Structure 1
């Protein structure tokens, strides 16, 4: 970089709505050697972190859980970034400079306030420059989010680069409509596609009209999307749990935006994830990782309480 930015630590902000595929994309970049020397900060809105379990290849990993860094956990983020700046200053003499930080935000975070907080901090402004804001957009669900969620639009509006994920899961007409709409919202952003983190070509959308998105400013405010933790009993019947989760997503899939957790099953220690009504293939995790809690499920959405979910699960599991 030239001018006053030269010498400062580059910060890449990776954002995107809940379930957009941020962690999967970042995981592949780390596997391919991108961000090889970068420190990675993962922010999760829930108190129980899960996504960090997929990022074992990060050279340095810090988890900020229990609130979004654009609001509740903003002070904690500033503190962590200041410590990294201090570490870099001490390491300069040893020739081990930290030159890059990647911040993966919560799916409920607005990148705008994060950038503003860094630029307004009297210490960080001299040590860190936001080099790029990357936003992941789920090819299957981004359009519905753009139509109904103001946050989803704000994330796209501020992006320098948009990664359209899960390209292989979208219908062609649906995908080209989304691409045209993304360009209409943010014509300056670079757009690329990805499948499980691997870059893939996008179809031409020339001549495809963007979606006529509704004005969300005048609509009545929806209840906020928030995380709810559900502790699973060690003696849980996994067949009953699977039936319960499938029924729950079928009935409340529009309200339950995301489910994720690490569960212990007869098949091993599994990473469980869903996006809306889509259950992703569980992934077997190694017996390691001191962060987080096994058999703790995080459900992110609106219109339900922890006690309602627990009562429903007990009913399906026959523990009434």
Structure 2
């Protein structure tokens, strides 16, 4: 990924991908490896009000509370204009590349269009590559049911297959052929825990998956973030049992869960993708623990009061006064 920037403009790399596709894991590794060069600024967009991914990346510009392709677009434009102003000012920040990690609900093409039609940014930012992470374990199911997943794939210059080590070879081969049909011009690479790995040769005769036609907008309604606050005194193991039961009962409607819980072992990063609970990760302490014990559920048909009532009922604990029927 070259660092030279024609005409002195700021090069922008867009990193997209569906919920739980491994964008942050990949980006964290690439930043450590210096893939984007020494002078890079990172912007992280979170659809939820409570951010989680910034805890993994360190110092970033955080845009929370809306996807930057739609409701969060004004905040993105303002942030990018501010970076351009700072960079051009004498004594200002010295960087020549911005990496924008989008929300998993964002359409990269809409973001690029917004920047290219902005009268200020079009003169100061050069759109570089659009990278889209693809979860090899869940992508075929997502592409069969989620119009947004197909739009994300179609917007990519490069598709990065993640979790390939856990994917059956026959399924991985079918996914690669399917992606090649959806976006013939995109390069396809692979990464495991953020580190680039080689893809095996495609077996002869591998067929693409048969994807049904989908409407432009999903008739089941939008996928939205829902947040609940967890009492710090709740037992972590009991919470994990409740979450497992919830995923078993309604995992098809619950695309993603993420948050940071305070446990006896420390600050624990909790993440799920569909019905798969990822291995918890201990995070370093932070001077601002205000976001701890807030869990974000991203899916269809979830209400924070219903989730909290379900949790307290499962644990056999009395409801907080605010949740009791009036």
Task: Tell me if the contact between 1:49 and 1:292 (Cα under 8 Å) persists in the aligned partners.
Answer: no
> CA offsets per residue over residues 133-165 of structure 1, 9 Å max, x none?
000000000111110000000000010000000
Query: 2:70 aligned with 1:71, yes or no?
Result: yes
1:14 aligns with 2:11: no
Could you state the TM-score of these two structures normalised by the residue count of structure 1? 0.94
Distance (whole Å) between structure 2 residues aligned to residue 242 and residue 220 of structure 1? 31
SS in 1 for 2:35: coil
Within-5 A mapping of 1:136-151: 136-151=133-148
For residue 32 of structure 1, what is the aligned residue in structure 2? 33
Q: Secondary structure of 2:89's match?
A: helix
Mean Cα displacement is larger for which, 121-130 or 196-205?
A: 196-205
1:71-220 aligned at under 5 Å gives the runs 71-91=70-90, 94=91, 97-205=94-202, 206-217=204-215
8 Å Cα contact 2:39/2:94 also seen in 1:
no
TM-superposition CA deviations, 1:259-308 (whole Å, max 9, x none): 00011011111111111111111111111153861000001001221111
Question: Which of 300, 315, 323 in structure 2 is aligned with 1:317?
Answer: 315
Q: Retained in 1: the 8 A contact 2:86–2:93? A: no
Q: Structure 1 residue 95: deviation in Å? A: 8.9
SS, match of residue 227 in structure 1: strand
Counterpart Cα distance in 2 of 1:85 and 1:208: 47
Q: 1:213 offset after TM fit, Å?
A: 1.0
Deviation at 1:34, TM superposition (A): 2.2
User: What is the alpha-carbon distance in structure 1 between the residues aligned to residue 92 and residue 250 of structure 2?
Assistant: 54
Q: Distance in 1 between matches of 2:24 and 2:226?
A: 20
Tell me the distance in 1 between the aligned counterparts of 2:284 and 2:6.
41
Mapped to 2, the partners of 1:13 and 1:75 lie a distance apart of: 17
Deviation at 1:5, TM superposition (A): 4.6
CA distance in 2, matches of 1:308, 1:263: 20
- 2:44 match: 42
| 3-state SS, counterpart of residue 26 of structure 1 | helix
> TM-score, normalising length from structure 2?
0.92
Q: Decide whether aligned partners of structure 1 residues 118 and 220 sit closer, same or farther in structure 2, where only a CA change above 3 A counts.
A: closer
Alignment counterpart, residue 220 of structure 2, candidates 197, 222, 226: 222
**Does structure 2 retain, via aligned residues, the 8 Å contact 1:9–1:128?**
yes
Aligned counterparts of 1:288 and 1:242: Cα–Cα separation in 2: 23
Q: In structure 1, what is the equivalent of residue 321 of structure 2?
A: none
In the alignment, the residues of structure 2 paired with residue 163 and residue 86 of structure 1 have an alpha-carbon distance, to the nearest angstrom, of 32
Picking from 292, 298, 301, the partner of 2:299 is 301
Equivalence map 1:252-263=2 (5 Å)? 252-263=250-261
Q: Structure 2 stretches of 5 or more lacking a match?
A: 319-326
Q: Give the CA RMSD over aligned residues.
A: 1.7
**Do the aligned partners of 1:146 and 1:152 also contact (CA within 8 Å) in 2?**
yes
Q: Secondary structure in 2 aligned to 1:153?
A: helix
SS in 2 for 1:102: strand
| 1:277-288 pair list within 5 angstroms | 277-288=275-286
**Residues 15, 101 of structure 2: 8 Å contact kept:** yes
Following superposition, the deviation at residue 97 of structure 1 comes to 3.6
